[in-house]
């Protein structure tokens, strides 16, 4: 996360939108997925380009 600690990231993310700590950890454990608004919040927080956002969140799995 570009050198940020998780708590710093979540605090900064909530300046751009809403990102719940418990939801963040559920996604990391594979129990949930980010919704559209959370993806946009994360993208703004990390200053991701549109291409970076698409590569990270919408990359198609090839089998």
pLDDT tens digits, residue range 4-36? 899 999 999 999 999 999 999 999 999 999 999
Say yes or no to pLDDT of 53 above 80: yes
Mean pLDDT of 38-58: 94
- Whether 24 and 7 have beta carbons less than 8 Å apart is answered as no
Q: What's the predicted TM-score (pTM) here?
A: 0.83
Residue 17 has phi, psi (to 5 degrees) of 180, -155
How is the chain split into domains, by residue range?
Answer: 6-57
> CA–CA separation, 9 vs 55, rounded Å?
20
Q: What pLDDT score does 62 carry?
A: 60
Say yes or no to pLDDT of 1 above 90: no
DSSP reduced 3-state for 12: helix
């Amino acid at each position: 996360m570009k050198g940020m600690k998780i708590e710093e990231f979540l605090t900064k993310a909530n300046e751009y939108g809403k990102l719940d700590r418990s939801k963040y950890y559920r996604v990391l454990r594979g129990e949930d997925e980010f919704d559209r608004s959370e993806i946009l919040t994360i993208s703004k927080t990390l200053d991701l380009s549109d291409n970076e956002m698409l590569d990270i969140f919408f990359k198609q799995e090839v089998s």
